[in-house]
Chains A and B, each alone.
Chain A
Amino acid sequence: MPTDPIYLDYSATAPLRREAREAMLPYMEGCFGNPSSLHRWGREARAALDDARDRLAAVIGAAPSEVVFTRGGTEADNMAVLGRAHCMPQAPVVCSAIEHKAVLATVKAAARLTGAPFHVVPVDGDGVVREEQVYALLEEKPSVVSVMWANNEVGAVQPIERLADRCKEAGVSFHTDAVQAFGKLPVRVDEVPVSLLSVSAHKVGGPRGVGALFVRKGTRLHPLIYGGSQERGLRPGTEDVAGAVGLAVAAELAVRDREADMVRLGALRDRLEAGLRAAIPDLVVNAATAKRLATVLSVCIPGADAGALIPALDLEGIAASGGSACSSGSSEPSYVLVAMGLDGQVAAPSARFSLGKETTAEEIERVLATVPAVVERLRSFASA
């Protein structure tokens, strides 16, 4: 194992930022109260929770009452999709073909539970949803249309402004999973008329297991779990005050540094892309001509064994992802790449490199010095 492994899997998760950690600690120790309690411990905790809500709301341009803290991005997606489907059980549910499973599987589950149909709208070769097909479905008055802001595997940015506008005109609720876009693109609900928007803390340097769902005032949502009245009854259960504080602090920092970080990381990503293209001429860059997140490089490497590619990189000290983070090591081609029209044979050996705050130019050069040799070795042992 090389001495300094290189982490290029920030789209999977990012380390907790020091500032977030420090802001969280008081609420796990001294200020441990339950925000629902009336006494001073409760009041302190309540104040911290309200403050975190105000700060996160300000970051995305929402009113504090429109922010619901959740136990993560997946939960926020479930609350949005299922919550809308249960409000209109006869109405179809619509999403794109490249949604994260947190939306895709939930759309299918919603249809199964309500008996309503669902529509999965295809994407083009760059991983961008076929807008006109979404608009055609608006006539069926879906309970919700869910299209992610930016894709987690290839980084393709979706036309969220237009989709949100058209859904609003049609009087249809529009949800976007902004888990990957948040902190990397300007994600503002006062500029884009989305009804529902999911974010996750750990992708922006906050703690794991915390997220938020923006619910625009007037958007009806059926709760999924029952208990107390916390989070407007949408997410009962004693609030995770430290988690909410960590999310708010990490979100503020990510948004504050966003433009500078994205310029720097975009240049590093472009350097990585150019270097890999030069060393591996038949390498395919996914979503190459789409507007992409600056931090993501997804490539297909024909002839490199899909099951051995990520382990081989790992053994060289390079942490990349094979698409989705399923530990079973499935060599099934990624459904996102298949939806983009890459056939199974080409799509299977793929790797996603995702950059983050701690990524350095020196690391990118070391990756460029290592990956071509790994690919060469994989190809030389591939059976005919």
Chain B
Amino acid sequence: MEQEKRTVLVAMSGGVDSSVAAALLVEQGHRVIGVTMKTFCYSDVEGAGKTCCGLDGIMDARRVADRLGIPHYVFDVEREFTRDVIDDFVSEYASGRTPNPCVRCNGNTKFRDLLRRGEMLGCDAIATGHYARMGKDEQGRPVLLRGLDEKKDQSYFLWALPTQLLPKLMFPLGELTKPQVREKARQLGLVTAEKPESMEICFVPTGNYVDVLEKRLGSEHPALTAGKLVTPEGETLGEHAGYARYTVGQRRGLGGGRGLPLYVLGSRPETREVVVGTLEQLHRTDLRVEELNWLAAPPTPGEEVRVQIRHRARAVEARVTATGSDGVSLEFGEAQRAVTPGQSAVIFRGDVVLGGGRIAA
């Protein structure tokens, strides 16, 4: 089937995935425009002010765009990113939850800006290097599907996208595996072919999120200062160094010593307590998801779906027990470890991403 030729705005981070995504679009004959979103900028030259012109990601993306013979621009979204992503990240931790900043960025900042500015530039499609696919439902409406490479599937990060974007989305890597993508990059001689996977959050250059919290909240903030370590039964076991420093399911750094290993079960910001308990207590069968966004028809009560509660976790079977505009409740088929408030829960029907939300306390 002859594929429709589109004018595509492709987000290029300077990594291998988005580089190959752009290359594939060019090969498919689309008119391609590359763009790098400048979300965050830290100077590495003393006294020279901000040196965003030299940020590695931007330079690499530009080199790839040159190689592909496509125009490349930089969209400065630093202000919006700080307001909508970093501030949210900090306030979520301060509230005792564990945020997914990449979900927040995709939903609130990155894709919205791509859509808006893409339209301004006369583009009719938006592409990224995410491992996800687009498909159609029975009515022919576009739906978001998981990437074929189970190990790389990134649909988890995309549930919060604005629905009106769906008809415009293209994910050229959705059918590929990571080794295939690297091989393609090598064949094309792209400078990004051997670039290592970026694991850290882009605005946490040290790799430790607590550094960002300390910088933005101050180390005297209640979330970062000592409090009681308690059991669900109300027994005090000792002290902790600040509840925002702990994540649900964490074992390390807890005194323990009662025979059974202890895990963080959650925190109580109002009393600064961190609640710890046994591995058994870390498991839950119920899940409440709020701040929903649906990309397809929402599930109905009683429906069996699959739900993924963190990146790099499998989507597990669950039954919808209640739905409403403010949230949805589910019952896992099997008890799940470390259901973490603030993290995204993404709900699937087969390969179709129905939508998702933030896990409630």
Contact = CB atoms under 8 A, between A and B. Distances in A.
B75 A329 contact: yes
Interface string B112-123: 000011011110
Given A329-B38, A329-B74, A377-B122, A308 B53 contact: no
A307 B47 contact: no
B76 A329 contact: yes
Interface in A356-383: 377-378, 381-383
Interface in A261-308: 305, 307-308
A326 B58 CA distance: 12
A131 interface: no
Interface stretch (A65-73, A147-155, A310-318): A310-318
A311 B70 CA distance: 13
A109 B49 CA distance: 11
A79 to B, nearest CB: 19
A254 B279 CA distance: 81
A2 to B, nearest CB: 13
Nearest to B36: A329
Contacts of B205: none
B121 A312 contact: yes
B332 interface: no
Contacts of A327: 53, 58, 62, 74
Interface size class of A (residues with CB under 8 A): 20 to 34
B47 A328 contact: no
A112 interface: yes
B301 interface: no
Contacts of A312: 120-122
A37 interface: no
Nearest to A378: B120
B43 to A, nearest CB: 12
A46 to B, nearest CB: 37
B40 interface: no
Given A315-B122, A377-B122, A308 B74 contact: no
B53 A311 contact: no
Interface residues of B, number: 21
Contacts of A378: 120
A76 to B, nearest CB: 20
A330 B76 contact: yes
B120 A305 contact: yes
Max chain B Cβ within 10 angstroms of own Cβ: one of A109, A312, A315, A329: A329
B76 A332 contact: yes
Interface in B40-69: 41, 47, 49, 52-53, 55, 58, 62
A328 B52 contact: yes
B52 A308 contact: no
Contacts of B119: 377, 381
A305 B41 CA distance: 21
B76 A305 contact: no
B55 A305 contact: no
B116 A383 contact: yes
B116 A311 contact: no
Given A328-B55, A329-B38, A381-B116, A311 B73 contact: yes
Contacts of B121: 308, 311-312, 315
A368 B52 CA distance: 33
A238 interface: no
A112 B47 contact: yes
* B73, B74, B119, B120: most-surrounded residue (chain A CB, <10 A): B120
B73 A329 contact: yes
A381 B114 CA distance: 12
Given A326-B53, A381-B116, A307 B71 contact: no
A219 interface: no
B53 A328 contact: yes
A112 B46 CA distance: 13
Nearest to A109: B47
B33 A328 contact: no
B53 A307 contact: no
Interface string A100-117: 000001000100100000
Nearest to B58: A328
Contacts of B52: 326, 328, 330
A378 B47 CA distance: 36
Interface string B271-285: 000000000000000
Nearest to A328: B52
Given A314-B71, A315-B71, A328-B74, A377 B120 contact: yes
A345 interface: no
A316 to B, nearest CB: 9
Contacts of B41: 328
Contacts of A377: 119-120, 122
Interface in A75-127: 105, 109, 112
Interface string B7-33: 000000000000000000000000001
B128 to A, nearest CB: 18
A327 B62 CA distance: 10
Given A105-B49, A109-B47, A305-B117, 10 more contacts: A312-B121, A326-B52, A328-B53, A328-B74, A329-B38, A329-B73, A329-B76, A330-B76, A377-B120, A381-B117
19 contacts: A112-B47, A307-B117, A308-B75, A311-B33, A311-B121, A312-B120, A312-B121, A312-B122, A315-B71, A315-B121, A327-B74, A328-B41, A328-B52, A328-B55, A328-B58, A329-B38, A329-B76, A381-B120, A383-B116
4 shortest interchain CB distances as A-B pairs: A329-B74, A328-B52, A308-B120, A331-B76
